[in-house]
Structure 1
Amino acid sequence: MNMGTEYRCQNISYRELTELPKDLIDRTAKYVEELDLTGNRISDLRFLIEYQSLKSLVLDHNAVSSHVKIADMPNLHTLWVNHNRIDNLSVFISTLAKKCPNLKFLSMMNNRAAPSYFNNGTFQQYVDYRYFVISRFPKLEVLDDKKIDSSERSEAERIYKPVKKRVKQKT
């Protein structure tokens, strides 16, 4: 059933919402592939469990924090969470890597957890932030406003390679 562009792309921006109305979710979730929720007050993303076709999600200028609750979103490839309340990179990225493992495009600018010149981060903090995020998302192509090249990916994997647990052998 083709519901048309109006259902595949939903713009629900600047409405001061803390959550989506149930009737809207019921009407659109099955078909929506792109959802723009910019400029609301959303902090809990568990409602996204209904949006199994979702590929692109924009949550700029909301109340998303490091400890966000989010549904499994294996089809999501684009996520923008610029200007939110994310201040613990490890916690947020661990959750995101588990719930949204196929991200190709991620933008986290203007969050405390994403150091940059604009929020008083040093260049080294910015580089380390990029390496850490890149190391957790093998399919990520663009982080914030910069494409990831092969040398950056190699360095990220070298620095943050998973440590394998050693198994003690009985002698």
Structure 2
Amino acid sequence: MRIIAGSFRGLTLAALGKGDAGKHLRPTSDRVREALFSHLLGGRYGDPISGARVLDLFAGTGALGLEALSRGAAHVTFVDDGRVAGGLIRRNVELTRSADSTRLHRRDATRLEANPDAPHDLIFLDPPYGKSMGERALARAGEGGWIAPGALVVWEESGPPQIPEGAEMEDQRRYGDTVITVLRLG
């Protein structure tokens, strides 16, 4: 796994090793990440990354958030409660030397407390597939003040997710067994 573009371009991220099957640690492939970021920066959304505050829910390895940081995001907050994921995120932050622009919350994304900081403009949501955890995490993040009005949500699932009330679906694409849904929150 590597960073595709930007200031960290070509950097190989920490190896997943045996992963963490119990936490459904399933990193987004380089191919899907490349297609996703090309789509986000393809003009339809302007530039949702430069200067953005990014919230990476169910962050896993942190690859999505770090790719955004590499491409000009101002800050990334990673949320994951997995022991293995936390170690991978910390190692990848070290590799990218991005500690000053990141924060790791070792929490269940469906049980976020109130946000102690500014809200986020771009949300990556990559929950365990088929468990309805994305819906719960997005609702909780909204209630806790983690999400800025008009934020863009990039949701990775095995199928189309349940779109929350007040959100508008911008796009949906399938990449093998992965469905990427882009939402704009009201």
State the TM-score, normalized to the length of structure 2: 0.32
Higher strand share: 2
Higher relative contact order (CA 8 A, sep 6+): 2
Relative to the length of structure 1, the TM-score reads: 0.34
The structure with more radius of gyration: 1
